[in-house]
Structure 1
Amino acid sequence: MNLFNSALGKNITFVRPSYFIISGFSGIPYIKYYYVFLCFVYIVSVLGNTVVMAVIYLDRYFRTPKYIAVFNLAFVDLLGSSALVPKLLDIFLFNHRYISYNDCLTFLFFCFTCLSMQVFNLVALSYDRLIAIMYPLHYHMKVTHRFMLSLIASFWVLAITLNLVAVGLLTRLSFCGSVVINSYFCDHGQIYRLACNDHTPSYVLAEFLVYLIFRFPLAFIVLSYVCIGYALSKVATAQERYKAFKTCTAHLSLVGIYFIPLVITFIAGSGMHPNGRIINLSLASIFPPMLNPFIYVLQTQEIKASVKKILKINSSRKNISI
Structure 2
Amino acid sequence: MNSFNSALGKNITFVRPAYFIISGFSGLPNIKYYYVFLCFVYVVSVLGNTVVMAVIYLDHNLRTPKYIAVFNLAFVDLLGSSALVPKLLDIFLFNHPYISYNDCLAFFFFCYTCLSMQVFNLVALSYDRLIAIMHPLHYHVKVTHRFMLSLIASFWVFAITAILVLVVLLTRLSFCRSVVINSYFCDHGQIYRMACNDYTPSYVLAKLLIALFFVFPLFFIMLSYVCIGYALSKVATAQERYKAFKTCTAHLSLVAIYFIPLVTTFTAGPGIHPNARIINLSLSSVFPPMLNPIIYVLQTQEIKVSVNKLFTVRKDFFLFNVKKS
**Shorter chain as normaliser: what TM range?**
over 0.9
Counterparts of 2:232 and 2:225, CA distance in 1:
10
**TM-score, with structure 2 as normaliser:** 0.99
Q: Secondary structure at the match of 1:20?
A: strand
User: Residues 19-65 of structure 1, C-alpha deviation per residue, up to 9 Å, x if partnerless?
Assistant: 00000000011100000000000000000000000000000001100
Deviation (angstroms), 1:317: 1.4
User: Residues 136-166 of structure 1, C-alpha deviation per residue, up to 9 Å, x if partnerless?
Assistant: 0000000000000000000000000000000
1:202 is aligned to 202
Tell me which amino acid in the other structure corresponds to 1:20: F
1:224 is aligned to 224
2:295 is aligned to 295
1:132 is aligned to 132
Segments of 5+ residues of structure 1 without an aligned counterpart are none
Tell me which amino acid in the other structure corresponds to 1:96: H
Tell me which amino acid in the other structure corresponds to 1:106: A
Counterparts of 1:74 and 1:38, CA distance in 2:
18
Counterparts of 2:109 and 2:254, CA distance in 1:
23
User: Residues 276-305 of structure 1, C-alpha deviation per residue, up to 9 Å, x if partnerless?
Assistant: 000000000000000000000000011001
1:182 is aligned to 182
1:12 is aligned to 12
1:72 is aligned to 72
Identity of aligned residues (%): 83
2:28 is aligned to 28
In the alignment, structure 1 residue 256 sits paired with structure 2 residue 263: no
Q: Secondary structure at the match of 1:231?
A: helix
Counterparts of 2:60 and 2:3, CA distance in 1:
66
In the alignment, structure 1 residue 151 sits paired with structure 2 residue 157: no
User: Residues 240-266 of structure 1, C-alpha deviation per residue, up to 9 Å, x if partnerless?
Assistant: 000000000000000000000000001
Segments of 5+ residues of structure 2 without an aligned counterpart are none
2:62 is aligned to 62
Counterparts of 1:250 and 1:61, CA distance in 2:
19
Counterparts of 2:27 and 2:314, CA distance in 1:
49
Deviation (angstroms), 1:318: 1.5
Tell me which amino acid in the other structure corresponds to 2:237: T
Counterparts of 1:137 and 1:96, CA distance in 2:
57
**Runs of 4+ off more than 3 Å:** none
Q: Secondary structure at the match of 1:21?
A: strand
Deviation (angstroms), 1:313: 1.1
Deviation (angstroms), 1:15: 0.3
* Aligned Cα root-mean-square deviation (Å): 0.4
Counterparts of 1:221 and 1:183, CA distance in 2:
29
Aligned length: 322
Deviation (angstroms), 1:310: 0.8
